[in-house]
Structure 1
Amino acid sequence: MSSQGLFSVSRRALLSGAALATATTAAGLLLAPHFRHRRPRLQPDGSYRKLRLGWAGAEHCPVFAAAQQKGFFAHYNLDIEVVSSGANGHDTLDAMQNKAFDYAVASALIWIQYLNNALPAQLVLGVQPGNFRLLVRRSSGITRLDQLMGRTVAIPDRNAADKLFFAVMMRRKGLDAMNRIAWQDMPFDQISAAAQAEKIEAVAAHDPYGWELLHDHPDLFTELVGSNTGHYAERTSLVLGVSDSALAEDPAAATALVLALMDAAHWADTHRDEAATLIADDTPALSSDSARAMLHNEPLIRPVVGGALRDQIAQYCDELQLIGLMPDLEDSAALAHKFTRNVLHA
């Protein structure tokens, strides 16, 4: 589903400082209120760095699009080669485990399982919230989560975080979705036909795929629940992690990358129409108008670092215990301290 390949900031963009000066100044003015009361003690050293970043589906992410195309990577002297090493976070972290790169972005729910299995890395930035959607077939008559028990729910990618997110949501309501729902792996391009044939009752997917199903087939699907409202909308989902070896060898590189993505996140949140145009260019299934509507329907993009990130990771650890993917005896707060690092503070 995610296109594979390499996306990199050109060296020409890095050398064209004059062309970026105006945009950078404007971005600085825009972002000043966000940092006025919490300026980081550490700043990057200005050195040029070429980094490989594992990130499945980066081309669909407004934060990445802004960082790459609006000069935020270049502003911090970063030449970023984004490696789409697979379709999901599991593929990305498998590649990181095999030392394909030292920096990676994946779902917190997937990161924590790898870290708990001794992947030598730490989480340094919550990049953006999730955009998960649980769509039900209109003719199914399903209006409550408990009505999904014993029913068939399609998932375009069994290793994506969509199933885990909704399993956690339902477990908090006393529902054992991991075992009582028939989760069916299904290629994305077969889902609408399966729903029309009444072979599935629902589908769990994230944007842009969930949005595409919902708005290309409005008579077929309706959204039952998702991550775009309530307290779920306030939580980070995609998280940047760095290998222990890279943090030991060049901690300033992680600082620069975190600052670049934070700046890009704030820009994308306040320039959604323009960000939509950026991701539509790399997402053929989305028109610019549809991409704009999608981004305006998604939660605020707020990067998360330090204690706030640690607290959220502890909550995710609790939730993975709830659905049986981590041992109950693990101390979530202690794990979160072990799994996270604030690279903006000395």
Structure 2
Amino acid sequence: MKYALLLFLLMLGHVAAHGQTPTQLYQAKNYLGLAKLEPRADKLTAEELYMVGFAFFRLENDEKAIAFYNRAIAKGLDDGSVYFYKGLSLKYQKKYPEALKEIEAALKREPTNQEFMNEKGVIYYSQDRYDEALAVFEQAKKLPSTFPEPYYWVAQIEHEQKLLDKALPAYYEAIRYLPAGNSNYFNALSNVGLLEYTVAHDYKKSAAAYTKAIALKPSNYELHYKLMKALNAGQEYGRADSVFAVVKSAFEHNLLPKSDQEIQSVAIAEFKWNGRTAVVRRSLVDPKEVLAISYKVFLLDAAGSKVERRFVVEKTFELEKGGPKHLLCEQDKSTGGHITYPYGWSTDTIPLADLEKAVALVLDGKMQQSASSNFRQK
């Protein structure tokens, strides 16, 4: 009776001194409060030592986290989680062999834990051991479905290894398993948009994936640019123009990435000519003055790394009613000369398909220049 009363008073004093028990602090995610129990470590149970170790882990103090995990293990805690989180702390210290040993210990205690198996794959991946990582992630997919990350990692590795025919369906599988709030759900959608555009050339599916990704992160304007490319490639010009209007509004509110704010134009489309890529950029500033540029078209070299020819659409004098307001021109890369072609538009709306057609006529040698001069455009 005296022993029970003494134990009760000690517990009451512990609670009174700290306001909450370690378990209550842990449940409340009060990691700073748990960390303050460090001086009382000798009086903590194995489970409480683990809780303090986890608190230090969340406070990004891996050294102390590992020290408390070790004390918890030494005091008899033999739960898979203590080895798992010790492995995580070692991984963040880039001590991969030691981390792997702890994850293996966690799996020995909980062999069907999908999260533990996933972390084993991540450690291999962190060491660029991609084949081993891929095998582990595939193994993790077969475990009871409690942690969907392995589906994303399989797709990510196949993508990085350029196994694109496998990566695309793997990303779709990841999307089916990952919750929408998971950051890799967004990444998977973005990569589906990319691979549908560049590999499968299914522009409708590409646009659908980008649209879903943008709904999750509306301020990611790089995705808006990619969506415009997909829509224009699929000849959904009206939808692409609507996306451009959103981007233009963001520009006017200084919300675009710094480089795009400074350049004042964004890439909206690509098309092929003789196996090479031509990139179309549209100005975010309405052309009001003569020589103001509304579009630029850059023909890249075969490697896609250098610009070979530069075309622009410039505002011109309207010499007669119904005459052209904008003309197709070229900025000669080697001489700095300015070339004008006999192709123009009488309205401020310039159809993208018509612009691409005009540039192709020049590149095919079917349209000759009508004038040239030697002043440089800025």
Both structures adopt the same fold (TM-score exceeding 0.5): no
TM range (shorter): under 0.3
The structure with the greater share of residues assigned to helix is: 2
The structure with the greater share of residues assigned to strand is: 1
Q: TM-score, normalised by structure 1?
A: 0.22
Q: TM-score, normalised by structure 2?
A: 0.20
